[in-house]
Amino acid sequence: MILGIGFVAGIVLNFFLLGILYVLNNKITSAKELETGTQIPLLGMIPVSRHSAESLFHVIDNPKSIVSEAIRTLRTNLEFFNTGTKSKVITITSTISVKENLSWL
């Protein structure tokens, strides 16, 4: 009986801790979550690359990479988004350095 109570208590505590971790999670995990949470259009995303930390000018060193194309797409979207009107642009960047960000790969 004690073993059964311990087993049930362990399962209940695990679900309780998972629920607390879910509630305390305040990270943005996808672009869709960012768009729905802020009601601001997402103009572009620049993916993380292994070559980003190696050079300061990624577009010049790797002009045909996915990161370079994403930067060009973001530049074009910003130009079309600000056609003649004075609107504010919000930039969201990572607070960790590129080398720490690459350690996630």
Residue 104 has a pLDDT of 40
Helix (H) or strand (E) holding 20: helix 2-24
Query: Domain residues of the chain, as ranges?
Result: 43-102
**pLDDT by 10s per residue, the chain, length 105:** 999 999 999 999 999 999 999 999 888 777 777 777 777 777 888 777 766 556 667 777 777 888 888 888 888 887 787 666 666 666 666 655 544 444 443
CA distance 8 to 75: 56
Predicted confidence at residue 87, as pLDDT, reads 63
